[in-house]
Every structure is written in C-alpha cells, then in structure tokens.
Structure 1
C-alpha cells in the first residue's frame, strides 16, 4: 500500500526531526504554595504530532538507538528557550538535561553556543538534571555546575525518590531545588507513611538549603497536604497541564484552596515500623538463569514478562552475575548484535560484580548502601542471598523507598488500643489550626459511668467499649476536615472544621449511646443499668454507660496556645458530665 504524501513527508528518524526543527515545547507551571503564584515553568518537549516520535519516551528511545541523544537534548533546551521567552517573562524556566550531556556540552562549547540566540537571562534558567544514575564523575559535574552557577544558572534534581535519584548527589551538588517524585504525592492525604517521608525530606532540604517541588499533585486533598506540610512549590495536573502557551495563573478553584484557612487532616501512622525489618522482605522470587543461556533466550524472557527489571545468572544455587533489562536491551537492539551474539552465552554481557545483600541485612546496612559511591544498583537492582545461595532480586526503587519510609519513627504517637493519634499529634493539629487563623470547634469526649462497667464486665469488655467510641467518632466525622484523637483511657478529642459540627456531635452521642446498650447483658438492659461498687467501695446502681461531649468554638484571636484550647474543651466536658447532659458548649 502506497503512503500518502503527508505520511511520506513526516519525519521518520530523530535526525530528520532535528533537521526539520519539528520539535515543540509545552510548558507546565510550577506554583508557589504560600500564595498560589506561578513561579516558573518546566519545558516538556514533544515530537511531531501524530508520528511515532510524538511522545518524549519514544523520541529519546529512538535517539539512543541512533546515537544522537546529546544533540537531541541540546536542541530540546534551545527549543524550550526559544518558545518560552515570548510568553513567560519574569518567571523561571526549568530545562531537562542529563548530567552526562550537560558535562559534554559545557566542556565542548561556551554557554552562549548552548543557549543559541534565545535572549533569556541565565538567572531565569534552572537546569533540571535527569538520569542521575549515569553520573560517572561527580566531581566533574560539580565543577561544571559551579562554572554555570557563576553565570547565574540554578540546578534542580528531578524525580527524587524514584529509585534513580542519589542522596549522595544531593549532598555533594547542593542543588537549589529538588523535585519530589510523584509516587510520594499520590494519595498522600490517606497514606501516613508518605506524610512522614515528606517530613523527612523537608528536614533534609532545610539542612541542605534546598527548596522542594512536589510533583504530581492531582487532587484537592493532595494539594492541601502539600501546602500544610510547608513544601515550597507544587506541580501537577491540578495546578496546570502542559500547554504550548504557558499558564501565568492557577485555576480559580486552586487559588481558593491555597488561600483557604482550612487545614488538612494529616493521616497518622498506626504502627511503628519493625526494628527487625530486613532486606528479605524486598526479595522478588525471580528464577535465575544458567550462565550458558543464549542471549536470544534472555531477550525472549524479557519480552514475555515486562515487569522483569533484571535476571540473575545462577550456577549450583550461587549467583554469578546480573543482567539488567535496559542495558541488555540497548545492546540487543544494536545492528548485527543478534547475528553475532544471539546464540552466545549471556555471561558475556553480564555484570559479574553486582550488589549482593544477604537476606538478614538490616535497615542500617541498607542506609549505608544508599550513600555508597557505587550507584549502579539503583538501575540494575541487586541480588538477595541466603547463606551465599540465590534467593531473589531486589530493585533500587524498592530500596530507596523502604529506607526513606521505614526509617522514620512513625507510630510513637498512635494509641495502641484504637490506633488513633495520641497527645502529640493532637497538640500538633491544634497548633496548625491556630496558626491558620481559621475557625474550628474543639470537642472533648468522655464516658459516663465507665469505671463501674469496666469493673463489672472486665477490662476486655472495657476495651471493646472504648473501641466503640473510636469507631463512632471516625464514622461520623469528615476525614478530610475533622481530626479524631485518643488522649487515653476513655478520653477522646475531636477537632471539627465541618460547619455542621453540632449535628454531628448530637448524632455521635445518640449513635454511641444506642450501640453501648448491646455491650450490656439482657438483665442490665431490662433494668437500665448494673449494680457495682463506687469509688468508696459501696455497691449501688449505675445507669448504662453514655457519652458526654464538651465543645468549644474557637474563633480567630481567642486563644494563642494549644493548652488554652485543651483546657477550655476539658472544662466544657466537665460541665456536660456534671449536668449529665450529652453535649455542653463552652465559651469560644
């Protein structure tokens, strides 16, 4: 079938794309979280529309095959600068370059040649370093970076935490900006481990003098958490999609969220990470292959299972080497490779000195591995053994995530009975509410006649009563706006931002009081209570256990300190218990 004239003229190779200057730039805004202003844009290159090279992944995959990655990256920078300067003066432009390409370009030519005739101030340019795992000579990269910094350029590391990024590179290069991989942002409003991870990265950033950009913000809840954690910048589809015409302002709904005094309810970890965590939990049971396996067979195995990142070469149960998918595929797709080496043993191209970790390797050792000089394992993965015998494979991505997440002490604030946040998170949330300047309602919840019930039926039944309080509170509060905490015993705190807090409190009390009846025996339900000893050892009648709630509306400027709010809520709870009313509202 003959191709149309249009199809015939369409660029078929990267060389043709560059020769015809068929690249276009789209720009995605990077937004300042404190005020919603657009602080910069990332230049994202697209190939010819409706061609096989339209997407960046396809374009660079083809460039690697044609051995023209460096000229393509240079042209991407030039195109981004040319198209951006006409639209977005006064903001920063982030341009992507691999570290190896940057070094090669700067060593070969002056900066003026790199930027071409694009009249853009160097102080407006941020070089966003990609593919960190390919930094073979960190001192040389730092020397080049210092030369460019002297001219006013800044640096960013992209996708930190995706398994390729290097903590060592962050520490040595000291980039002005680090972009957090979208994995840590996706679902952060409901995943406490990710919240703790971001807090850890914020501490690192403060130590290094680095600004953070949260990538991949796609929901309102994610945006609120990123803003409230204090991350300086955000990027993602919610804030603005890539477009040929750079957006100079965020959508109105996004600006309203950023300006809102309502704070996010940060999810809390329920359990502490085990101090006995070992690398065995990262081991994937990938079968090993024999050292004489032909390269054609290896290619077929990779093609059959796209999830395979690597294959271990094993003989007599002991690992001899490692074949990384990307490295192997790059070789295998070269001209004449299959003809020359397709039937040859795979050991010819294996890494015979891979990273090998025993299954008992703990978190401290894994942390040491992360900051080691040899960073190949981040892309190649590593081998897990047991007593020297092959057990499975681990990936660099897993290792980075586990060390970042699990090392954070997470469950020290959770109540062990209900797994609700305890005193410290409660105080922290009250502090955030006060700092926001918005209105909220602090409620202190306590059980009436709980001790007689606990004494009469035993601590096991008492624990079930306390868990009923927790379930009721959680079920009838808005998890996006209302914070539920467990002070201890039968004392709970709810911090409402929901406008219908009064109705919710009344429903909580009615629901609990009805549910608590089921925890008494039939005789007690018929009598309306039980006979039990009071605090003086005298047996008397006690009504069935009910819930009291003291509520204090907190208005801006009324309280300055956390303890003042807690004291006022406790006083309102005391009034409710004294009057044996379900709800008492104190002075706000």
Structure 2
C-alpha cells in the first residue's frame, strides 16, 4: 500500500467523524443504522491502516531514560512506539487498541520490538532496554520464534540487557501457565518487569506469582506522593515487597522535583518521567541540573543518616519539615477553602513578612463553616478570624524527642494540628504529628536493631554506615580496632556473667577516655563480643590508644580474685585437657588512618586492621600497632 494512502485514510477517518454528528439530527432508527455502518467503516479503515503500518513497518520508536536514584545515571531506556505522524493511529493508545480489536497484536508488537532494537545505538553494556509486551502475546507460540534474540545479536547486545515489560493493565488469568511461558525467556537471560503496578487488575498477585526483577509503580501512585501520606504508605509497602523478592522499584510519571525527592528519601531504586527526560529519538540525556538535584537530595539524606549513626541522637525537627501552602492574614476564608479543595494538605500557615501569625487546619475551618450561620459569618471575611492565633511554633534545631514531648502535651483539641517550624523566627515549614511519630519510631527501631544489647553502643550496621560516609566524603579519620586479649580464658575461669561485666566496663572505659582525649564528633561502636571500634581524627589516635591501654591495665585488676592478681595469671585447661597459665586480660589496638593512605572502600579498613591486630596480639601485654605503610602508587 503506497504511503500517500495513509493521508487518504486520515481524511476519510475525519469525514466519518463529521457524519457521526449529522446522524444526531436524524430519527432514532435511521441514526442507529447509519451509526452502525459508520462504525463498521471506521473499523475497516483503521484495520486497513494498521495492516499497512505493520506491512511497511511504519513504527517510530522513542526512548525514555530510566534513572538510577543513587547516582543520577541512566540505567536503561523504555522503548515506546508511535504510529506515522499523519495517521489516526499515531497515538500508542489508539494503535494498540485497534491491534487488540483486530487480532493483530502479535505482529504489531513484533514490529515494535524490531524497530526499538534496531534504532537504539547508545545502549552501554551496563544499561537495559525495556520492551513493552502485552500479557496475551507472551502466550503466543510465535513469540518463541527467537526473532528478538536474533535482533539483539545483530546489534551486539546480550539477553541480559533486555527486559520484557509486561503491562499490568491486561488481566493475567492463569498465572501457572503464564509463569511457564516466562520461564523460556528467563532461562535465556532476559529480565521481567511488571508495568503499571498499582493500577491494573492484579498487581500484588502478579508480583508474588511472577517475582519480576523490576516493579514499575504506576504514575497514579507517584503523582503528589510528596503530599499524600497514604500514597507514601503504599509505596513503602511496595519497596519492602520488592526487597523480599530481590526486585527493584521503578517509579513512573515523575513531573515535579518534590515527588522525586520523596522517592529518593523512601529508597526507590529507579525513576522515569517528564521531569527527568521526555521520550525522544535519539535517546535523550538527563539534564545536568536534574542529576545535580538527585545528588543533592542523596547528600542531605546521608547527612540525616549520619546524625542517626552518631549514637542515634541529634536529629532535629528542622530536618523533617514538609511544605504546605502559606497565605497572608488578609486572605478570605472562601479562598482558603479553595486551596484546601485544590490540594491535599490538611493545614495552611498564615504569614506576615515570613513570620508565622497563625495556623488554619482544614477540619477546624469546616467546623466553623458547619455551625449555624457559619458560612454567612465567615465565608467572605479574612482568614485571621478563624485561624489558630497560638499554634505550636518550635525552633528548627530542637531534637525530635523534645518536640514530641511538647506536641503531645497540648490540649486534645489541638493535638493533631501541624507543628510550625522556624529558624530565627523565619518560617521554615511544618511537621505533622504522623510525620513526627513516624520518624521517631524509625529512629527508635534503628537504635534498637543496631545497638549492642549489653553495652548499648552502635552495632555493625551503624558502624558500616559511618565508615561508608567518611570514605565517600574523603574526610580525614583514624579507626581504632580494640580486641581484648585472653578474654575467653577469663570467661572459662569466672563465667559469662563476669565476662559481661568486663565487656560493659570496657565500653565505659573507652567512653571516659574519649571524653578526655577525644573530640565531640568521635564515634564508639561495639562490633560484637570483645571487639570495639573508635573513629576519631588521625592526630588524636595514638594518644587515645595509649590512654585506653594505661587505664585498662589498671582498672581490669579488680575483676580478678586476689590470688590471681598476685600471680598475674589464671590457670585454665586447654582443649587437650592440660593446665595453662593465661596472663591477665589486656587490650590490643590496631590503628588504621588516612594520614598515610586514602581509602576507596570501607572494606579495606577492616582488612588492614585484621593484619595489624595479629601483630598486636603477638605481644604478651597490652599495646597498639599503627599502620604506617604508604599506599603503593600504580
């Protein structure tokens, strides 16, 4: 079929649309008969158009980047298909609707996949190409013909770079058979993504049954997620579900920076949307300012995490503020109601020159308007007549726990009102009670999960977080790894209860020495058992190690019985049943510092420390060993 015919069909298509309007003035029976004829004609015209598009392969692919929310880099592209620009089937929705109705879905998708693979030239070895497929197509026996594999081989791609994105708007009626169909592709290395999760027929069942590598969250969940706690709760559950099946979340439809910031904060792995980049061919880059924004948000999140890491304290109310609409005191009540109707916020802050004057909560506004003559009294009058003139206003530097105590001591009528946050009396934002309690709960859970139950010191996860932060920021630091010598023999002789007392004593001794010889930002952690860690500045490391050793060797003696103290050792049986003389418990310290070498990975620190501790333990008494080796330049 010649190319000019598409234009002819388009004219015919528009002509039938005009005829539809004419039938509206005819008698019902005549109009119905003509309407049926017109629909049949339109269906035939559109099917002919689709057959020509498939035959001539007149599909034009565009590509939308999928962005890594940790780095701002492009992890892959979703291939989207368009019909000819002068065709009524240009829109993908109309294109695939007609294909579905005409029984031409498989050949159309085959052409779309072929065009998508042939037209992409920038796919790097670590990037993915996402190809949309209808769930019904997967079951088509022709789909297994190996055409896709041949195409990607011709382009030099690997199956591991291809993800089949199954739209969730099509019902999957038989998951057992569908899973068996997918097995064929997974075995070859292809990945599977579930599209439109949250908007289709069986999102959760599809995820559980198919266990996709990627879960794409529908834009209906993503839009305004920064202002909708319910959507945040849904997404949080999806992130946890993805973790359980070892999958990744891709959020679709990001159009605003506030949405993107919330997604990063919630731990979403990847994102796509108009704010990041619109679909185009050739595949578009992510604008530098967007990538910079992603890095800035991640940095702020790391700072917040670092504060939690530092003994779990110090998170301030200013770090969890939320934006809400602000108005002047002269705004009318009716205009305030309009703001509530057009947004999903529960409160509005009234300002004057950036200073908060009052707070208007949505439920209180409707309480006023719902009284007798409430609308007549207030609707056209200034909002200051109905606002709370004495809301809770706190400084941004206050810790979460302190604000929680203040907020929960309010009158019951005001208990769930927003908390207004200021910095030097200048409005910063608000914090809802839900947000406050949610952050405090997370803080407490994090402390409980990552603190050593005996000493209360931060455990391995918090230690790891702190080391990662220091290495990433290339900050100067020194790490002291402390290990007790002969502690097992002490446990065998005196029992675990006395052993726990020694461990608790060690933690307290380190804290005291750090208070005297350390700095305010120094960190203490309990790795486990008789292993402890200190993170300090390089210039303080040796003096701190010496102070700990001197104090330890003196204060450990009271834990021994007088006769053992006098002898300077205890006698215990070894594994062969022979008596051995084991010296008094001492402390070995390995010091690893950036003063001599930089670190690109926090794991390097532990490897070097393990070598040094072996050297330190070869000495019969308490001592420290410092790594003074220079990094070998390659």
TM range (shorter): 0.3 to 0.5
Q: Which has the larger radius of gyration?
A: 2
Choose between structure 1 and 2 for higher RCO, CA contacts under 8 A separated by at least 6 residues. Answer: 1
Q: Which has the higher helix share?
A: 2
TM-score (norm 2): 0.44
The TM-score with structure 1 as length reference comes to: 0.47
